[in-house]
C-alpha cells in the first residue's frame, strides 16, 4: 500500500522522539563516565557526583526515558490514528 | 474490540488478586518458619523447607498452566499485561550473578564495578527505543523468525539459530551452576544432586506449559527474589543510616568509608602487615630468579634452625615447630617454584585498601585512562548485549499490543532497577560494617558472623593473624565476593530464617533465568529449525511435542556440561553479551530503521561481526593461550566494542553493493513501523 503524508509525518516524529531520548541516554551514560573523575570532585548529599550517577542517578534517568517514550508514543499513535484501540 | 478490552482488564484484575494473595501467603510462610526457628527447628530443616516449598510452588504453577496450544506454548497467548510482563522480564533478566555476585563485585572494585550496574540497566533504553514495539508488531514467535522474514531465506535464519543457541547455552550453564551451588550450600546435598533437584523444578514448569507457565512462574519468582534481596539490606541500612530506605541515605556512609580507608592506609600496624606481604613477594621473586641456589639455601636454613634449637635445649614446642618446617619444605625445585610463584602473588595484598568512591584507580595517568576505556567498554557491550539477547526480546512478543510492549519495557526496567540500585548500597554498608566492627577486633572474640563464615568456607572469608598481634588488620582479611550477599543477614544480626530466604531468592533468580534460556534454545530448535526449515507441514501438536522433548534433551546436556565445572564463568557470561551484541543488534535495528538493508548485507554483516568478536576473544583471552597484545588495552570481555561497529558498517556497505530488497520486504518494514495501519496487506501475526 501507499503511505499517506500523514504516515510519513508520524514516522518522522517517532524518529525525533527516539533521537532526543537517545541523546539523553548517551549523555548520562558515556559522557558521565568519561568525565567521572572531574564530576567526583563535586559532592551530592555525601556521594561524589559521578558515583551517585553511576549507582542510581543514571539508572533512574533510564527508567524515566522509557516511561516518557511510552507515554509520548501512545499519544502520537492516537493523534495520527495508528493506535490499536482500547486493548488495556 | 470492546469484549476483548473487557476480558483483558478483567484478566488483569484477576492476576492482581492472585498475586496479592500469593505475596501475603509467602510472607505468612516466612513468619511461620521464623516462629518454628524460635521453637527450635534446626537450620538444615529450614533450608529444606525453603528449597522444597519454593520448587514445589514453581512446579505447581507449571502444572496449572500446562498447555499444548502453539500460541500459548510459544508466547503465552499474547495476553500478558505490561505490569506482569515487566516482573517476569525482571526475573528472567536477573540471574544468579546479579543476585549473589553483583554486590560482591562492587564491594571489591568500588566505582569501577558500577560499569556492570549501568550496562545491565541502560540496555533497556535500547530495547524500548529500537526493538520491543517493532518486534511486537511483527508478532511471530522467535528472533530468528524476524531475521528470516525481514531478510529472506534460510541462511539468515540458520545464522540466527546458531547465534541464539550459542549465547543462550553459555549463559544457561552459568545459571545451573548457581542452582547447584546454592542448594548444596544451604541443604548439605551434594552439588550434583542439587543440580538435578533444581533442574527437575525447571523442567516440570517449562515443559508442561512453555512460555505460559514460565511467565507466571517468573512473576512468582520475582516477588520472592526482591523480598529476599531487600529485607536484609533494609535491616542493615536502618542500623547504619537510621532510615529504612538506605538507598537514599548511604552517601554519608560512603564518606565514612572513605575516612576509614585513609585511617587504614596510615595505620602503622596495617603498614606492618602490608610490609610482611611485600617482603614475602620480593623474596619469592628473588628465589624464582635463581631457583637452584635459593632451594639449597632455604633447605640449609630450616635444617640449621632445627639443629641449633636442639643443641640449645629449646622448649619442646619450639623444636616441634622447627621439625614441622623441615618436613614441610618442598621436596624438589619445581615444587618450590610453585610455592614461590604463589608468594609473589601476595604483592596484591601489600597494597592499601582501594578507595571505594574513586573512579578509575591506576598507578599513573595512562593506567587510569585504560581503566576508563575498559569501564566504557563494559558499559557498551553489556548495554548492546542486553538489547540483543533472544530470551529477553522474546518476552515482548507476549503482550497484548504494541503500546503494552512499550509500557512493559518501562515496568521491566523499574523492577530491575529496584535490585540494581540497592546492590551498590549494600556494598557500601557491608564495607562500613567490616571496617568499623571487624577491623580492630581481637582474634579471640571475632564478630559472630565472621567466626562462623571463616570456619565454614575459607574460600569466602579468610582471616589469619599475619603479624601475630592478636588484633585483626584489614590487610589480614581476604574476602570472596559472594560472601557479601550470603552473609548480610548474619552481619545485620537477623535470625537464620532470613539466610534461608536469601538462599531461596538466589535460587529463584537462577531458576527463572535458566527457564527463559532453555525455552529460547528449545524454541530455536523446534520452531526455527524443525518446523520452518525441515518440516513446514508438521501439525501443531507435533510441533509442541517436539519442543518439549528438545527441552529435556537440552536441559540434560546443559546439566552435564555444568557438572564438568567449566572455569571462569563470569567471563563466559560477559562473552555471551559481547557475542549477542555483535551478531544480533545491527541486523535487528537496521531491519526496522533502514529499508535498504538487504539479505546479503545481513548475512555478511552478522558473520563478520560475530567473527571479529570471536577472533578478538580467542586471541586475547589467556584461557586460549594465544595472548596477542590488546588493542588500546581493551580487555577481551568487551570484544563487542569492535564486533558491533564493524558488523554494522559491513551490513551498510554490502547492502549498497547489492540489489535493494523486494517490495514485499519494504512493505513488511512499513507494517512493523505503525502499530495499526489501515489498508495494510501484510498479515504477520502468527497464532
Q: Report the complex ipTM.
A: 0.95
Which of A33, A75, A82 best probes binding to B when mutated, by most B CB atoms within 10 angstroms?
Answer: A33
- Provide the residue ranges of all domains of chain B, joining segments of one domain with +: 1-41, 268-350
For residues A2 and B371, give the distance between their C-alpha atoms in angstroms, rounded to a whole number. 52
Please answer whether residues B428 and B104 qualify as being in contact, where contact means their C-beta atoms are separated by less than 8 angstroms.
no
For position B1, what pLDDT does the model report? 40
For residues B210 and B329, give the distance between their C-alpha atoms in angstroms, rounded to a whole number. 60
For residues B641 and B386, give the distance between their C-alpha atoms in angstroms, rounded to a whole number. 14
Mean pLDDT for B665-671 is 90
**pLDDT tens by residue, A8-35:** 999 999 999 999 999 999 999 999 999 9
pLDDT of B218 above 90: yes
B254 and A51: CB-CB below 8 Å?
A: yes
Question: Which residues on neighbouring strands pair with residue B442, listed in sequence order?
Answer: B471
Backbone dihedral angles phi then psi of residue B461, each to the nearest 5 degrees: -145, 125
Percent of all residues in chain B with a pLDDT value above 70, rounded to a whole number:
97
Outline where B457-495 has alpha helix (H): 483-491
For position B174, what pLDDT does the model report? 81
- What's the pLDDT band for B269 if we cut at 50, 70, 90? very high
Q: In chain B, which residues have their Cβ closer than 8 Å to the Cβ of A56?
A: 247, 421, 424
For position B681, what pLDDT does the model report? 65
B494: left (phi over 0), alpha (psi -120 to 50) or beta: beta
Outline where B390-495 has alpha helix (H): 390-393, 402-420, 423-433, 448-456, 483-491
Distances (CA, A) of B56 to B67, B201, B204: 19, 7, 10
More confident residue, A61 or B176: A61
Distances (CA, A) of B661 to B278, B584, B601: 65, 19, 10
More confident residue, A65 or B541: A65
For position B254, what pLDDT does the model report? 93
Mean pLDDT for B314-327 is 84
**B521's grid cell:** 534454545
Please answer whether residues B428 and B254 qualify as being in contact, where contact means their C-beta atoms are separated by less than 8 angstroms.
yes
For position B136, what pLDDT does the model report? 93
**pLDDT tens by residue, B339-361:** 888 888 888 888 888 899 888 88
**B239's grid cell:** 542500623
Quote the Cα angle for A63-A66-A69, to 5°: 150
pLDDT of B388 above 80: yes
B117 and A18: CB-CB below 8 Å?
A: no
Classify residue B300 by burial, with Cβ atoms within 10 Å: 0-12, 13-18, 19+. Answer: exposed
For position B2, what pLDDT does the model report? 43
Please answer whether residues B81 and B15 qualify as being in contact, where contact means their C-beta atoms are separated by less than 8 angstroms.
yes
For position B91, what pLDDT does the model report? 94
Percent of all residues in chain B with a pLDDT value above 90, rounded to a whole number:
43
- What's the pLDDT band for B327 if we cut at 50, 70, 90? confident
For position B565, what pLDDT does the model report? 66
B673 and A67: CB-CB below 8 Å?
A: no
For position B6, what pLDDT does the model report? 55
For position B205, what pLDDT does the model report? 76
pLDDT of B188 above 80: no
For residues B585 and B578, give the distance between their C-alpha atoms in angstroms, rounded to a whole number. 10
- What's the pLDDT band for A88 if we cut at 50, 70, 90? very low
For position B686, what pLDDT does the model report? 61
- What's the pLDDT band for B585 if we cut at 50, 70, 90? very high
Backbone dihedral angles phi then psi of residue B442, each to the nearest 5 degrees: -90, 150
Of A1, A30, A54, the CB nearest to B680: A1
Of A21, A70, A83, the CB nearest to B410: A70
**pLDDT tens by residue, B509-539:** 988 999 899 889 988 888 888 888 888 888 8
Mention every residue, 6+ apart, whose C-beta is less than 8 A from residue A16.
Answer: none
Separation in Å, CA of A79 to nearest CA in chain B: 12
Distances (CA, A) of B494 to A74, B103, B223, B228, B233: 46, 19, 20, 13, 11
For position B570, what pLDDT does the model report? 67
For residues B194 and B506, give the distance between their C-alpha atoms in angstroms, rounded to a whole number. 14
Per the listing, cell 548480610 goes with B488
A82 and B247: CB-CB below 8 Å?
A: no
For position B114, what pLDDT does the model report? 95
pLDDT of B3 above 60: no
Q: Which of A51-60, B36-45, B643-652 has the lowest mean pLDDT?
A: B36-45
**pLDDT tens by residue, B134-157:** 999 998 889 998 999 999 888 999
pTM listed for this prediction = 0.90
* Mean per-residue pLDDT over chain A, rounded: 91
pLDDT of B55 above 70: yes
Backbone dihedral angles phi then psi of residue A84, each to the nearest 5 degrees: -100, 15
Which of B380, B410, B431, B681 best probes binding to A when mutated, by most A CB atoms within 10 angstroms?
Answer: B410
pLDDT of A75 above 80: yes
Question: Which residues on neighbouring strands pair with residue B477, listed in sequence order?
Answer: B463
For position A1, what pLDDT does the model report? 62
For position B65, what pLDDT does the model report? 87
Amino acid at each position: 500500500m501507499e503511505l499517506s503524508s500523514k504516515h510519513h509525518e508520524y514516522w518522522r516524529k517517532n524518529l525525533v522522539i527516539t533521537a532526543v531520548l537517545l541523546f539523553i541516554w548517551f549523555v548520562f551514560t558515556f559522557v558521565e563516565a568519561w568525565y567521572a573523575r572531574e564530576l567526583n570532585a563535586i559532592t551530592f548529599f555525601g556521594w561524589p557526583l559521578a558515583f551517585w550517577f553511576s549507582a542510581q542517578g543514571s539508572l533512574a534517568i533510564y527508567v524515566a526515558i522509557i516511561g516518557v517514550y511510552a507515554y509520548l508514543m501512545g499519544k502520537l499513535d492516537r493523534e495520527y490514528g495508528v493506535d490499536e484501540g482500547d486493548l488495556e | 474490540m470492546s469484549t476483548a478490552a473487557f476480558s483483558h482488564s478483567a484478566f488483569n484484575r484477576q492476576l492482581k488478586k492472585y498475586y496479592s494473595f500469593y505475596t501475603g501467603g509467602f510472607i505468612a510462610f516466612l513468619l511461620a518458619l521464623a516462629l518454628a526457628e524460635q521453637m527450635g527447628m534446626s537450620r538444615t530443616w529450614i533450608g529444606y523447607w525453603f528449597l522444597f516449598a519454593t520448587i514445589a510452588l514453581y512446579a505447581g504453577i507449571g502444572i496449572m498452566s500446562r498447555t499444548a496450544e502453539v500460541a500459548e506454548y510459544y508466547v503465552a497467548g499474547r495476553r500478558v499485561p505490561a505490569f506482569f510482563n515487566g516482573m517476569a522480564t525482571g526475573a528472567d533478566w536477573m540471574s544468579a550473578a546479579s543476585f549473589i555476585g553483583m554486590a560482591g563485585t562492587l564491594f571489591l572494585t568500588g566505582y569501577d564495578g558500577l560499569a556492570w550496574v549501568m550496562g545491565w540497566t541502560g540496555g533497556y533504553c535500547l530495547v524500548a527505543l529500537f526493538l520491543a514495539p517493532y518486534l511486537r508488531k511483527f508478532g511471530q514467535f522467535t528472533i530468528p523468525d524476524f531475521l528470516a522474514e525481514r531478510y529472506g531465506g534460510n541462511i539468515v535464519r540458520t545464522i540466527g539459530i546458531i547465534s541464539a543457541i550459542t549465547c543462550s547455552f553459555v549463559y544457561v550453564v552459568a545459571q545451573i551452576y548457581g542452582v547447584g551451588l546454592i542448594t548444596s550450600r544451604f541443604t548439605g546435598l551434594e552439588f550434583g544432586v542439587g543440580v538435578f533437584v533444581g533442574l527437575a523444578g525447571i523442567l516440570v514448569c517449562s515443559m508442561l506449559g512453555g512460555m505460559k507457565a514460565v511467565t507466571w512462574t517468573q512473576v512468582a519468582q520475582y516477588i520472592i527474589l526482591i523480598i529476599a534481596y531487600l529485607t536484609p539490606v533494609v535491616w542493615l541500612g536502618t542500623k547504619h543510616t537510621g532510615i529504612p530506605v538506605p538507598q537514599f541515605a548511604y552517601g554519608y556512609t560512603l564518606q565514612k568509608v572513605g575516612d576509614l580507608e585513609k585511617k587504614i592506609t596510615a595505620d602503622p600496624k596495617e603498614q606492618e602487615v602490608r610490609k610482611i606481604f611485600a617482603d614475602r613477594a620480593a623474596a619469592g621473586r628473588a628465589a624464582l630468579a635463581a631457583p637452584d641456589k635459593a632451594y639449597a639455601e632455604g633447605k640449609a636454613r630450616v635444617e640449621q634452625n632445627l639443629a641449633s634449637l636442639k643443641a640449645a635445649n629449646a622448649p619442646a614446642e619450639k623444636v616441634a615447630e622447627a621439625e614441622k618446617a623441615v618436613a614441610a619444605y618442598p621436596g624438589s625445585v619445581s615444587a618450590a617454584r610453585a610455592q614461590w610463584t604463589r608468594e609473589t602473588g601476595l604483592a596484591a595484598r601489600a597494597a592499601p585498601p582501594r578507595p571505594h568512591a574513586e573512579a578509575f584507580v591506576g598507578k599513573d595517568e595512562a593506567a587510569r585512562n585504560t581503566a576508563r576505556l575498559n569501564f566504557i567498554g563494559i558499559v557498551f557491550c553489556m548495554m548492546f548485549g542486553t538489547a540483543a539477547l533472544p530470551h529477553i526480546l522474546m518476552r515482548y512478543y507476549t503482550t497484548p499490543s504494541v503500546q503494552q510492549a512499550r509500557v512493559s519495557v518501562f515496568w521491566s526496567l523499574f523492577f530491575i532497577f529496584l535490585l540494581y540500585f540497592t546492590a551498590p548500597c549494600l556494598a557500601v554498608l557491608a564495607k562500613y560494617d567490616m571496617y568499623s566492627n571487624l577491623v580492630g577486633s581481637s582474634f579471640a572474640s571475632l564478630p559472630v558472623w565472621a567466626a562462623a563464615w571463616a570456619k565454614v568456607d575459607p574460600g569466602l572469608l579468610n582471616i589469619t593473624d599475619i603479624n601475630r598481634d592478636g588484633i585483626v588488620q584489614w590487610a589480614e582479611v581476604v574476602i570472596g565476593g559472594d560472601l557479601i550477599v550470603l552473609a548480610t543477614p548474619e552481619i545485620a544480626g537477623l535470625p537464620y530464617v532470613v539466610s534461608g530466604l536469601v538462599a531461596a531468592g538466589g535460587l529463584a533468580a537462577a531458576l527463572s533465568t535458566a527457564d527463559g534460556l532453555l525455552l529460547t534454545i528449545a524454541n530455536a530448535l523446534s520452531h526455527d529449525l524443525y518446523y520452518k526449515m525441515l518440516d513446514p507441514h508438521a501439525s501443531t501438536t507435533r510441533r509442541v511435542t517436539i519442543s518439549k522433548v528438545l527441552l529435556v534433551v537440552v536441559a540434560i546436556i546443559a546439566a552435564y556440561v555444568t557438572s564438568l565445572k567449566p572455569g571462569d564463568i563470569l567471563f563466559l557470561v560477559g562473552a555471551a553479551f559481547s557475542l549477542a551484541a555483535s551478531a544480533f543488534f545491527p541486523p535487528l535495528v537496521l531491519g526496522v530503521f533502514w529499508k535498504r538493508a538487504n539479505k546479503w548485507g545481513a548475512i555478511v554483516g552478522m558473520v563478520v561481526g560475530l567473527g571479529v568478536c570471536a577472533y578478538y576473544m580467542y586471541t586475547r583471552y589467556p584461557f586460549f593461550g594465544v595472548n596477542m597484545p590488546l588493542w588500546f588495552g581493551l580487555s577481551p570481555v568487551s570484544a563487542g566494542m569492535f564486533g558491533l561497529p564493524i558488523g554494522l558498517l559491513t551490513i551498510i556497505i554490502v547492502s549498497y553493493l547489492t540489489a535493494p530488497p523486494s517490495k514485499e520486504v519494504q512493505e513488511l518494514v512499513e507494517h512493523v513501523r505503525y502499530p495499526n495501519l489501515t489498508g495494510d496487506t501484510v498479515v504477520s501475526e502468527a497464532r
